Amino acid sequence: MKNEGDLRTQFRDLLGRREFQTLESLWVSAIEGAAGNTPPDLAVFLEAADGLIQAAQLEKAEVLLDLTAPLYEKRVDPRAFLGFLRLQCFASPSSVDLRQRFISLWREAYGSASLETVYLELSGLEKAGDLKKAFHDLDRFLRFREGTYVHHPAGWGTGQITAIDPILRQATVNLEKKPNHRVTLEALKTILEPLHEDHLLVLKFKGSERLKEMREADPVALIDTVINSYGNPLELKAIKSHLIPAVVASDDWSKWWGRAKKLLRASGFYRIQDAAPFAVERLKQAVSYEEDLLKAFQKSDWSGRRSLAKKVFRERGKVHPRLHEVITADLQRVVREAIGPQAIEAAILLEKFNLGAPIANSSILLCALQTCSDPQKMVCKIEGGEEQRMAMAVLPQVVKEKWPEAALALLTAGSDSIRDSICELSRKEPWRDRIASRIAEVVRGPRMAPDLFVWAARKSIDGAQDEIFAAVSELTPVELLERILDLLDHLARKGEREGKELTKEALARARSLIGARSHDLLRRVLKDLDRVKGRSLYERILISSGLSEALRIEALDIITRTMPEVTRPQDVPVWEENTIYVTEAGLKKRHEELREIMEVKLPENFRDIGRAASFGDLSENAEYSAALESRDFLTKKATEIRAELNRARLITRSMLKEGEVTLGSKVTFLNIQTGKNQVYRILGPWDGNPDDGVISYRSPIGRMFLGLKINDEVNVQLPSGKENYRILSIEPGI
């Protein structure tokens, strides 16, 4: 008959290819060949039967096991034959007879009063509807023996079973936080997790000495212990959490992991991801790390290939020479085939690391840019600030006489790295004043080009000494802060109209100016403010829609620490304060009025001025004069609204006083002359009018009502004469 090893190999091969009919014939031949001889090892058939059951070939498994049973039933140890009966139960799950045979043989093999038989009863196998679950529970119970190490996931720590009493059905467990704790055997499988002796938790429980020895002498074995304990592969953050601080000190982690990673990769049996989550995987067969990187490079998109190329090129080919050669050749191919911005980025990498010979006495990068139909646009698409600066250094040679216009266009459309390059490259150019003029134009109207304004403002805050930033440097700190806040509010409103994702990045960049250099600009502003202006700034920041809540809190904290008086109660009545109190709805309406002037009416007016100017002879051009008057009116109106918005503050519930008319009150009063009741809310000047049921607290009648209480009477002088009112009730009106 066939060698057992050959038979097992053939069974495995046929299962892998799902050739179940051929496997059945081979099985039957093996049984027939065993007649009168020593049969093959039972484990060979058990493995094959398990494979058939896993492949849902229950009928074949049932027949083959029935044919095989007589060969082993009386010839092997009963405990070994239990495994055979178990598989028969799985192949014939509805067979009550097979299940009873298994239970009877179990009692015979282990004894009726044994711990094993107690576990069998606790598993519920005899009457279980779910056969697989019952056997799973039995297997789990059997892991709990005297001396077994266990872990309590709910918080009592790791420990060891010190005694088990099958009669009382109790176990004594010595846990870290529950010494000599008694547990019913039935509860073992639900509250405790059995651990193997080399589990990380067990080694920690024993004192961590062995783990610390591995930490120094064999980091690979230590990582292997963690993987054996918690799974393969395992994320680096999980490995770190299991080893710190019991085995590796937090401060030593980076250095220790750097050493361990090199050893893991050198062994060839571990794969470590180079990007988050940096999973560590133990391999069945050794694999070269260089081969792994090569496969990763070949499978990656351009971003991944570029990142790996940078890493390999920094090593100058000393660590991974073959990979270095392959990547160099690939990037040279990308340059030759002129594949969009990838060709430019590949040329940059080759040139940066001196890996490409000049082409016709020109640099690789210059040649690559010269093949582009729109080199300016291509430079903007390049990833990475350093790479963009390298491309900008040769761009003037590509666009030649168009360089001044290209620089001005990129000043607005490019990134900060591109703007920095323009600033440096134009230092000795005669047209540099045009850059200064463009920046000055944007400083006057930041909304024209928010990114360019933010870049120029940051340069000023950082103390850049360059004449092209004169326009922003000449602003006082207060003026610069006001323009930043105006821009933030504009971007926030734009985000509400057009979608927040469209303005998210611009808002973040503009907000960074407020917090730059530990709020340096805000601190400089506060040095020159008196109490009134400080309070005005406090209120402006309080209601600014463009600030994030975290940034608002930081700014307000700095103001109150620097000028604590701004939050002290004022002695003047609210109607005499310089502040304008208003609800959120009123504030939004006023913002919308300003937006319409700035973004609709003024642009239309500018077009009207241009159209009227084209008619010639401006001295007698009535349409031109009217357009100019309209411009002056709109500009003045916008200035007034912006000034009012700077003084606006929200009416809040904290201002309400029970039984007294205050800002935000809803007042019901009796007109004594007419005998009619009237209801009004006392709100801000932008919240409506009497027709809307609103009285402005700044109006004469609003001022007379403030401070009154229920049953108070007041005489009001109206154009129609005097009228008397009595307060009937006061409620919250917001």
CATH of the domain at 209: 1.10.10
Q: What pLDDT is stored for residue 568 in this prediction? A: 66
Shared-domain flag, residues 207 and 269: yes
Q: Is residue 107 part of a domain?
A: yes
HSE toward the beta carbon, residue 1, CA cutoff 13 A: 20
Pick the closest to residue 580 from 487, 668, 486, 698 (CA basis): 698
d(CA 310, CA 527): 48
Neighbouring C-beta atoms of residue 400, cutoff 10 Å: 9
Specify which residues 666 forms β-bridges with: 681, 731
Shared-domain flag, residues 259 and 180: no
Pick the closest to residue 184 from 139, 137, 118 (CA basis): 118
Task: Give just the sign of the alpha carbon dihedral 47, 53, 56, 62.
Answer: positive
Residue 613 is part of a domain; what is its CATH number?
1.10.287.180
Q: What's the chain's length in residues?
A: 734
d(CA 362, CA 130): 77
Are 390 and 384 in contact by the 8 Å Cβ rule? The answer is no
* Residue 145 amino acid letter: R
Shared-domain flag, residues 645 and 669: no
Find the helix packing angle between 20-34 and 4-16, rounded to 10°.
Answer: 160
d(CA 435, CA 413): 14
Q: What pLDDT is stored for residue 196 in this prediction? A: 94
**Of residues 571 and 133, more confidently modeled:** 133
Most confident region among 2-6, 220-224, 463-467, 706-710 by mean pLDDT: 220-224
pLDDT band at 227 (very low <50, low <70, confident <90, very high): very high
Q: Is residue 464 part of a domain?
A: no
Q: Which residue has the tokens 């990134």?
A: 415
Give the pLDDT mean for 700-710: 85
Specify which residues 672 forms β-bridges with: none
SS (H, E, C) 490-543: HHHHHHHHHCHHHHHHHHHHHHHHHHHHHHHHHHHHHHCCCHHHHHHHHHHHHH
Q: What is the pLDDT of residues 541-581, one digit of tens each?
A: 887 888 888 888 888 889 888 988 877 655 555 555 678 88
Out of 600, 632, 650, a domain closes at: 650
Q: What pLDDT is stored for residue 359 in this prediction? A: 54
HSE toward the beta carbon, residue 495, CA cutoff 13 A: 18
Are 587 and 580 in contact by the 8 Å Cβ rule? The answer is no
Cβ neighbours of residue 360 closer than 8 Å, sequence gap 6 or more: 367
Q: Which residue has the tokens 């499988």?
A: 189
Q: What is the pLDDT of residues 607-627, one digit of tens each?
A: 887 777 666 554 556 677 787
Shared-domain flag, residues 627 and 679: no
DSSP 8-state assignment for residue 390: H
Q: Rounded to whole angstroms, what are the CA distances from 165 to 145, 178, 185, 195?
A: 11, 19, 9, 21
Shared-domain flag, residues 640 and 706: no
**Of residues 360 and 458, more confidently modeled:** 458
Shared-domain flag, residues 162 and 117: no
Burial class (CB in 10 A: 0-12, 13-18, 19+), 107: middle
Mean pLDDT of the chain: 87
**Does 468 score more than 80 pLDDT?**
yes
Peptide bond into 245 cis (omega under 30): yes
Specify the range with the lowest mean pLDDT, choosing from 519-528, 566-575, 587-596, 698-707.
566-575
Q: Is residue 643 part of a domain?
A: yes
pLDDT band at 20 (very low <50, low <70, confident <90, very high): very high
Shared-domain flag, residues 607 and 624: yes
Burial class (CB in 10 A: 0-12, 13-18, 19+), 407: buried
Peptide bond into 40 cis (omega under 30): no
Whole-angstrom Cα Rg for the chain: 41
Out of 589, 622, 650, a domain closes at: 650
SS (H, E, C) 27-56: HHHHHHHHCCCCCCCHHHHHHHHHHHHHCC
Cβ neighbours of residue 192 closer than 8 Å, sequence gap 6 or more: 144, 150, 151, 152, 173, 183
Shared-domain flag, residues 640 and 666: no
**Does 1 score more than 50 pLDDT?**
no
Shared-domain flag, residues 612 and 657: no
Share of the chain above pLDDT 70, in %: 95
The domain total for the chain is 5
- b/e 167-201 (16+ beta carbons within 10 angstroms → b): eeebbbbbbeeeeeeebebeebbeebebbeeebbb
Are 115 and 131 in contact by the 8 Å Cβ rule? The answer is no
Shared-domain flag, residues 207 and 224: yes
Q: What is the pLDDT of residues 365-406, one digit of tens each?
A: 888 888 888 888 989 988 888 889 999 999 999 999 999 999
d(CA 390, CA 368): 13
Out of 261, 287, 313, a domain closes at: 287
Residue 112 is part of a domain; what is its CATH number?
1.25.40
d(CA 222, CA 259): 13
DSSP 8-state assignment for residue 570: P
Shared-domain flag, residues 695 and 626: no
Q: What pLDDT is stored for residue 531 in this prediction? A: 81
Q: What is the pLDDT of residues 254-276, one digit of tens each?
A: 999 999 999 998 888 898 887 78
Q: Is residue 57 part of a domain?
A: yes
DSSP 8-state assignment for residue 569: P
**Does 501 score more than 90 pLDDT?**
no
Task: Give just the sign of the alpha carbon dihedral 415, 417, 423, 425.
Answer: negative
Share of the chain above pLDDT 90, in %: 45
Structure tokens at 540: 């402006």
Q: Is residue 546 part of a domain?
A: no
Are 228 and 201 in contact by the 8 Å Cβ rule? The answer is no
The phi, psi pair for 485, rounded to 5°, reads -65, -40
Structure tokens at 258: 């750097």
d(CA 182, CA 189): 14
Q: Is residue 540 part of a domain?
A: no
Q: Which residue has the tokens 């020159």?
A: 528
Shared-domain flag, residues 215 and 101: no
Strands 713-718 and 721-732: antiparallel
Q: What pLDDT is stored for residue 233 in this prediction? A: 93
Are 156 and 175 in contact by the 8 Å Cβ rule? The answer is yes
Q: Is residue 480 part of a domain?
A: no
H-helix segments, 35-130: 42-54, 58-72, 78-91, 96-110, 115-123
d(CA 98, CA 92): 8
* Residue 393 amino acid letter: A
> Using a CB cutoff of 8 Å and minimum separation of 24, what contacts does 131-137 make?
131/89, 131/90, 131/93, 131/99, 132/90, 135/86, 135/89, 135/90, 137/189
* Residue 680 amino acid letter: Y
- Domain residues for the domain of 179 are 149-195
Find the helix packing angle between 531-543 and 500-527, rounded to 10°.
Answer: 170
Q: What pLDDT is stored for residue 169 in this prediction? A: 93
Q: Is residue 505 part of a domain?
A: no
